[in-house]
Amino acid sequence: MGIIKRQGIQNSIISYAGVLIGYVNVMVLFPRMLSVEQVGLTRVLPNIAIVLAQLSALGFGSAGIKFFPFFRDKALKHHNFLTFLLGIPLLGFSIIIGLFYLFQPQILDYYAKEAPLLRQYSYYIGPLSLFTLFYTLFNSYLTSLYKTVIPSFTKEFLLRVGVSVCVLLYAYDFINFETFLFLFIAVNAGITLVLLVYIVWLKQFYVSPKFTQWRGQPIRPMLQYGLYAFLGNISSTIITVIDSIMITHYNGLGDAGIYTTATNVASIILIAGSSIYKIASPKIADYWKNNDLKTMQVLYKQVTRINMVVGCLLFIGIWANIHNLLALLPKAYSAGKYVIFFVCAARLFDLASGINGYILLTSPRYRWDLIFNISLALLTIVANPFFIRNYGINGAGFVFFIVYGVINTIRVACVYYFYKMQPFDKTSVQIIMLALLAYVVGWQLPFMYHPFVDIAIRSVLITLVYGIGVIRLNLAPEMTDKLLANIRKI
């Protein structure tokens, strides 16, 4: 747990710094400097690029993390692993992007009526998809090397700073919107180049045409796993981004901008898990290689406790301040209030169920996760049109909540059925009860003069009640023991 704690803390610091910048972007700059249609465009373009990149990757992002322990040998340049990791997805990209441009007129006709702005700037989709693919693969490689801090820095901090600069340049009329969008795409591409330079600096950029180094390595199992991971990743991507794409089709980029802004507000809850998952996933792959289920069970419970403590605090903090958050946004964004609730609840349950997805996906039973993902992706595709047409963006938020609730319930049950591991104990109930108490205390506080003042006072009150309870009840010793030791030293 040492490396997980250390890099988890570093990733969390970077993530929270990025969240501060991200909230300035989401709550201040984007809503005030861009129209809702322009905001929607900056969200939908990357989402389409993610879909194309996942189609191209052919599951090699996940397969790389699972199988790298079998290739790991720096003296032998990891048996030319990086060439294999990059080569097959690049072949996939050439096919996928060729099909995209072949059927581009039909694809863009899907958005012609409600999203003309997307059609106007569709030429950015290809380059952005390529850089998104490379970022995914480089990030997978660095994760396998237990080098997760720089990828976190680029994605969570550097990207958001770059986007802030772009918006400010546009807001003060230094550039027009077309130049802004070009710079926005360039910043998204630039973080990929940073990872490439970092890999070279680590002296881990081993690319060679010597395919003989693959002899004796699990190439065929990796290809088979990659196929299953490919289908699973596509399904997960559909579950994650199809809502904004469908909203763009049915309601236009304006509603997509409001919806994605609401989901970005809720995304702060992901910080607790994403910082730990980045380093925990390769450790889980090592545990499976060594058949060390006992240590994996310990990690499973520890990650769940940490995620629940942080996730519950963030959830009650957001919902207790929802009136303040919406007051800081233009009036049109108030339509996203219950989207924030549904997405926050979904993300919290995702955190609370721990690393079940990583355990199942890297286990010999990984095919089951594929079945779950495909089934729920189909449910998302079928349910979203009905709920979006009848309930707008709130309908999309509700589908998001249901899908994530179902998939995580099934994963927890599946891991327990196959491996007799489950992440919950009595502390889970105590954390939930403490969170409800802290929320009620914060909710009872009358409005304090101004949204910023009210957010500060209400948040401090909730944090004090919750934090004291966590420490006194010793609900997360993995977090609090070191904190208390440092306080005693001071």
Would you say residue 223 lies in a domain?
A: yes
**Residue 487, domain member (yes or no):** no
Domain identity same for 417 and 465? no
Measure the CA–CA gap between 82 and 79, rounded to whole angstroms. 9
Q: What domain range includes position 462? A: 425-480
Residue 111 pLDDT? 63
Structural domain contains residue 354: yes
- If asked whether residues 123 and 151 sit together in one domain, one would say yes
Q: Are residues 476 and 340 in the same domain?
A: no
Same domain, 310 and 420: yes
Which among 403, 424, 445 is the end of a domain?
424
In a domain, 486, yes or no: no
Q: What is the pLDDT of residue 81?
A: 73
Domain count for the chain, please give it.
Answer: 2
Each residue of 88-135: pLDDT tens digit? 888 888 998 888 888 877 777 766 565 677 778 888 888 999 999 999
The domain boundary, picked from 387, 405, 424, lies at 424
Question: According to DSSP H, which parts of 1-59 are helical?
Answer: 2-24, 30-33, 36-57
Q: Is residue 217 included in any domain, yes or no? A: yes
- On whether residue 271 sits in a domain, the answer given is yes
Q: Which two tokens stand for residue 396?
A: 């999309």
- Would you say residue 488 lies in a domain? no
Output the CA torsion sign for 188, 194, 200, 204: negative
Residue 161 is assigned to a structural domain of this protein: yes
Residues 107 and 227 in one domain: yes
The region that residue 406 occupies, defined by phi over 0 for left and psi between -120 and 50 for alpha, beta otherwise, is alpha
418 and 475 together in one domain: no
Q: Of the residues 382, 400, 424, which one is the last residue of a structural domain?
A: 424
> Same domain for 261 and 221?
yes
Q: Does 337 lie in the same domain as 467?
A: no
Q: How far is CA 446 from CA 120, 249, 326, 442, 467, in A?
A: 48, 41, 17, 9, 22
pLDDT, averaged across the chain: 81
Instruction: From residue 251, give the alpha-carbon distance in Å to each of 58, 277, 391.
Output: 32, 35, 11
Question: How far apart, in whole angstroms, are the C-alpha atoms of residue 262 and residue 397?
Answer: 9
pLDDT at residue 16 in the model = 64
- Nearest CA-CA partner of 85 in 112, 66, 106, 98: 66
Which of 56-65, 152-161, 352-361 is least confident?
56-65
Give the CA distances from residue 133 to residues 54, 137, 181, 357, in Å, rounded to whole numbers and listed in that order.
Answer: 7, 6, 20, 22
The answer to whether residue 183 scores a pLDDT higher than 90 is yes
SS3 assignment for 164-215 = HHHHHHHHCCCCCHHHHHHHHHHHHHHHHHHHHHHHHHCCCCCCCCCHHHHC
Is residue 366 located within the same domain as residue 464? no
